[in-house]
């Protein structure tokens, strides 16, 4: 029999953390709580949970920064559970490595459904299967193992999701993807963010690529449909 998946809840509001903890346990998960950022980071180092639920408003640190630190410690999915509902907070959190975002008040059944969806996706052999670890297009190289993007000898600094989005598009050259498909493939759950999230990330990627030695972005808009990675794009 498989061991239950472990879920870390980093939340300082005890009423919320206890309710979420109890509900997850009823659903068959092994859940535990950290009431501040320091304890949460320590628990990740010591116990390596399978999934993390993170509040953005913590007593000892900003949750966006905590999310960034967590992503350096673990590849486990991170779901933000926060009263902060602005698009800015959502885009920042996703850009620093979060995989999902829910706002308070929230539905416990939806929360569990999202947790299960992310864990199911990780367990899917199609998700584990990788294509090329190193993609090369003229002077542009995308190293999946090192998570680095290079133009010649210069590295382009990308956030976690910017890299994931670029790698996904580049690993399917000339294939057109809708915004919905990109949300589903890169973030793994297509309903938690708006379509304009993809627009923001595509714009950032283009700006960073165009500022580099290559002077062009490779990412082409197919009007009325979506986006594609075009190896021949030179504009």
Q: Picking from 82-91, 206-215, 226-235, which range would have the lowest pLDDT averaged per residue?
A: 226-235
Whether 127 shows a pLDDT value over 70: the answer reads no
pLDDT score for 194: 60
Higher pLDDT, 101 or 91: 101
pLDDT per residue as tens digits for the range 66-99: 998 898 888 788 999 999 888 888 877 877 778 8
> Cα–Cα distances in Å, from 200 out to 72, 92, 188, 230?
23, 11, 18, 19
Whether 56 shows a pLDDT value over 90: the answer reads yes
pLDDT per residue as tens digits for the range 21-42: 999 999 999 999 999 999 999 9
The percent of residues above 90 in pLDDT, for the chain, comes to 40
pLDDT score for 126: 46
pLDDT score for 49: 95
Calculate mean pLDDT across residues 166-180: 88
Q: Picking from 41-45, 211-215, 217-221, which range would have the lowest pLDDT averaged per residue?
A: 211-215
Q: CA 233, CA 235: separation in Å to the nearest integer?
A: 6
Q: Whose CA is closest to 218, among 204, 233, 203?
A: 233
What is the pLDDT confidence band of residue 106, given thresholds at 50, 70 and 90?
very high
Give the SS3 label for residue 112: helix
Pair 52, 23: CB distance under 8 Å? no
Whether 12 shows a pLDDT value over 90: the answer reads yes
Calculate mean pLDDT across residues 57-67: 92
Whether 151 shows a pLDDT value over 90: the answer reads no
What is the pLDDT confidence band of residue 233, given thresholds at 50, 70 and 90?
low
List phi, psi (to 5°) of 210.
-70, -25
Q: CA 229, CA 171: separation in Å to the nearest integer?
A: 8
List phi, psi (to 5°) of 222.
-100, 100
Q: CA 11, CA 16: separation in Å to the nearest integer?
A: 8
Give the count of beta carbons closer than 10 Å to the beta carbon of residue 225.
Answer: 11
Place of tokens 């956030």: 159
pTM of the model: 0.62
Give the SS3 label for residue 79: strand
Higher pLDDT, 212 or 103: 103
């Amino acid at each position: 029999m498989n061991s239950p998946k472990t879920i870390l809840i980093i939340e300082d509001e005890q009423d919320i953390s206890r309710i979420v903890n109890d509900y997850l346990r009823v659903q068959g998960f092994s859940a535990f709580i950290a009431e501040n950022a320091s304890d949460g980071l320590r628990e990740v180092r010591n116990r390596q949970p399978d999934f993390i639920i993170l509040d953005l408003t913590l007593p000892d640190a900003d949750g966006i920064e905590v999310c960034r630190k967590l992503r350096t410690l673990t590849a486990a999915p991170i779901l933000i559970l926060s009263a902060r509902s602005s698009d800015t907070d959502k885009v920042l959190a996703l850009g620093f490595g979060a995989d999902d975002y829910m706002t308070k008040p929230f539905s416990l059944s939806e929360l569990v459904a999202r947790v299960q969806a992310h864990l199911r996706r990780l367990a899917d052999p199609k998700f584990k299967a990788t294509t090329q670890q190193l993609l090369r297009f003229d002077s542009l190289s995308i190293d999946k193992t090192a998570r680095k993007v290079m133009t010649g000898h210069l590295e382009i600094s990308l956030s976690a999701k910017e890299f994931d989005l670029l790698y996904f598009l580049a690993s399917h050259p000339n294939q057109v993807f809708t915004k919905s498909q990109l949300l589903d493939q890169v973030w793994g759950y297509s309903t938690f963010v708006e379509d304009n999230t993809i627009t923001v990330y595509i714009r950032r990627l283009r700006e960073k690529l165009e500022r580099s030695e290559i002077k062009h972005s490779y990412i082409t808009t197919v009007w009325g449909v979506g986006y594609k990675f075009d190896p021949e794009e030179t504009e």
